[in-house]
Structure 1
């Protein structure tokens, strides 16, 4: 067996820089002493790394507070503490949610704070690839304009689509609906703007977003159900996304074969369908899911019955997920999440009758931004992993 090669000075510098930058990203302000404690580096090494990161544009040094000057005659001894912060506007990332009818783009700084947002609509579901790319591109450029920045400042873009995507960013186009999203977006935006586009399934990005800034924050074994028109699941196991061979892990088409479920229709679709088939005040072919939930909140018996039926359907769905994935938590997400709070008592009560491993069930506080939040996290993960290889745009 060959002995491991000794670490080179270049490799050590890289490891040290990653450690220092990771800590500075995790806090508002970092002192040299804190960086020494957290990284195990000497003061000289910490300062050398910080000065290199300042030259590269990733961090800034802050002025020393007046009380830390160590002036003659003052009780404070030694050198003033040097303080550093992330240069959050050194570049930006894009989070893009591409649905069948609409697309939304959000611009975030390097702390993940959204500073611009814009949306666009597709005139039809089955439109040429060039037209779909054009709508997405215009939404991105409008979002960047709203953020007061330009395409040259984008370091990476995360993009979620309603189709399976494998680990290499390839769309599984084995169904017609999925094939509508196989439009060559990564290549097109690279050609137009030079962007690195990280394509991912929308439910997978919802899981990333929920674990980052939602009710599933920090949960390693997590499932997020996008539950509006159609059900789709993003699955995290031990803190990592599950994709499967072709990216189809979490697809819910199997529900067609589940007794008591019978389809992958989501909460909004079921509310509309069952309302239209009834005779209560919401009975209309154009009644919205929101109206059904509003009627139920007002005590309408027909609407309350619909919510009971949806609760049972969702309990059965979650039980199937719990039986073969065994997550700690299942989160109902998407635009329907706010209304879905009314379903939680019924789902929670029914679950133990359907599975021996009932998870904790909650609704996402992220609303219809859940996919863009996850797309931003996905882009930031790429930037953070590749920071030392990325060339930051020159300051204006």
Structure 2
């Protein structure tokens, strides 16, 4: 009758410890009574888990002071504080042309951010790993924390990722570059691999335009379109990890592929230049169509250039079809356009919103991200912190500090 009791008890304890850490992060000094109110746990459970978390190095217990905290029969309450500096996590975004790394403390506060150019092709796996090493070492040095303090590293990649952390793609780049294994072997860090759009969704709900939104789609919309989907606050992966992949857009009329806003703004801007020689676009790119960028097209349209406006109207129609299709499938409350193009894409929102009812009976609210091109690496920080919270009883910052001191 008792078979499975111990594992079940340990699972409950893990869940309770995670709830405690969530309640304590950023809350300052708290008492057992306050933790009971925040988590719904009994006093005995709260105090027992606090003692364990103090032993592991997650919490600090403060000395009792007369007049501080609440009292039980004249005895001052025990007071605890979450140790933000107990350890650190890394969030890494491996993009098409660069790598961005953020180092953060246990409260999720970024301590440093480093971006380095990165050529994805015609570079050996060893050279790629060396670049990762350099950027991680630089970020840790700027943050002023030792490599031994890292409890988890989350890496975002522009490819579908399976539930077990494997990249589900036939691209030669990922076949030859097992980033999770390489980083883990070189540093001993726990490495978590995730799709970049999924991480962007975590970032937006954590610190971006989607705070408090449980049903959400975040679209990375730069050179390519990708999406991360949250339903009832839970990131969806599907059977193999491909939930939110937008390859089906190849078969959607008026869309036809997964190229993004930046790609088509520049492409259609060049086409417009040919038929409108007096357009401001020609001035912005110095008369060289190859030098025209998406940002130039958005700038010209914002300045009232009619030709550039035509290109953006065409782009808004395309995005309305793409957003309408995914909204019909998953019915989100909000769709956030994210990535480096997000600030410019604000110009598209009114036109997309007007057209959405033509393509879905359940149009969502639309917003653009304010998190910039760091949205994926920031989401990777949230992803790493979620892992640490879930496994807090298996991880010991106190042991990390002793090991660092011994070295």
Report the TM-score when normalising by structure 1: 0.90
Unaligned runs of 5+ in 1: 71-75
Task: State the distance in 2 between where 1:202 and 1:41 align.
Answer: 36
Q: 1:126 touches 1:180 (CA, 8 Å); kept in 2? A: no
CA 1:285–1:93: 2 relative to 1, 3 Å: same
2:55 aligned with 1:80:
no
Equivalent residues, number = 389
Per the alignment, do residues 36 and 262 of structure 1 end up closer, same or farther by CA in structure 2, a change over 3 Å counting? closer
1:73 is aligned to: none
- Residue 281 (structure 2) aligns with: 282
Cα shift readout 1:118-174 (whole Å, capped 9, x = no counterpart): 122224533211111211221111111110012111000010001111111111122
* Corresponding residue to 2:197 among 203, 206, 217: 203
Distance 1:41 1:172, change over 3 A: closer
Aligned to 2:29: 29
Three-state SS of the structure 2 residue aligned to 1:68 is coil
Residues 261-276 of structure 1 aligned to structure 2 (within 5 Å): 261-276=255-270
Distance 2:295 2:256 in 1: 23
Separation in 1, partners of 2:202, 2:226: 14
Distance 1:301 1:341 in 2: 18
CA distance in 2, matches of 1:325, 1:45: 39
CA contact (8 A) 1:256 1:263 kept: yes
On the 8 A contact 1:89/1:109 being kept in 2, the answer is: yes
Distance in 2 between residues matched to 1:61 and 1:181, nearest whole Å: 48
2:57 aligns with 57
- Structure 2 residue runs of 5 or longer lacking an equivalent are 274-278, 283-288
| In 2: Cα distance, 1:243 partner to 1:78 partner | 52
Cα distance, 1:324 vs structure 2: 1.5
Contact between 1:101 and 1:125, CA under 8 Å: does it hold in 2?
Answer: no
Supply the distance in 2 between the matched residues of 1:333 and 1:299 (Cα, whole angstroms).
Answer: 24
Distance of aligned partners of 1:337 and 1:182 in 2 relative to their CA distance in 1, 3 Å threshold:
farther
Q: State whether residues 97 and 159 of structure 1, in contact with CA within 8 Å, keep that contact through their aligned partners in structure 2.
A: yes
Alignment correspondent of 1:251: 245
SS of the residue 2:142 aligns to: helix
- Name the SS of the counterpart of 2:25 in structure 1: helix
Work out whether residues 101 and 121 of structure 1, in 8 Å CA contact, stay in contact via their aligned partners in 2.
Answer: yes
Change (3 A) 1:24 1:261: same
Q: CA deviation at 1:19?
A: 4.4
| Cα separation, 1, equivalents of 2:343 and 2:17 | 42
> C-alpha separation between the residues in 1 aligned to 2:220 and 2:228?
8
Q: Give the direction of change, closer, same or farther, for the CA distance of 1:277–1:59 in structure 2 (3 Å limit).
A: same
Q: Contact conserved, 1:121 with 1:135, CA < 8 A, in 2?
A: no
1:193 aligned residue: 187
What CA distance in whole angstroms lies between the structure 1 residues aligned with 2:345 and 2:233?
26
Is the 1:93–1:110 Cα contact (8 Å) retained in structure 2?
yes
Alpha-carbon separation, structure 2, partners of 1:323 and 1:262: 18
After superposition, residues 128-167 of structure 1 pair within 5 angstroms as 128-167=124-163
Give the distance between the partners of 2:77 and 2:280, measured in 1 at CA: 68
Please give the secondary structure, in 2, of the residue aligned with 1:171: coil
SS in 2 for 1:282: helix
Instruction: Tell me whether 32-41 or 208-217 shows the greater mean CA deviation.
Output: 32-41
Select 1:315's aligned residue among 316, 320, 326. Answer: 320
Counterparts in 2 of 1:227-238, with a 5 A limit? Answer: 227-238=221-232
Counterparts in 2 of 1:337 and 1:6: CA distance versus 1, 3 Å: same
Task: Measure the CA separation in 2 of the matches of 1:13 and 1:273.
Answer: 55
**CA distances 1:23-79 after superposition (whole Å, capped 9, x unpaired):** 223623311221233445555554443233222110112355674399xxxxx9823
Instruction: Provide Cα deviations, 1:62-114, integer angstroms capped at 9, x if missing partner.
Output: 355674399xxxxx982334321111111101000001211011001111110
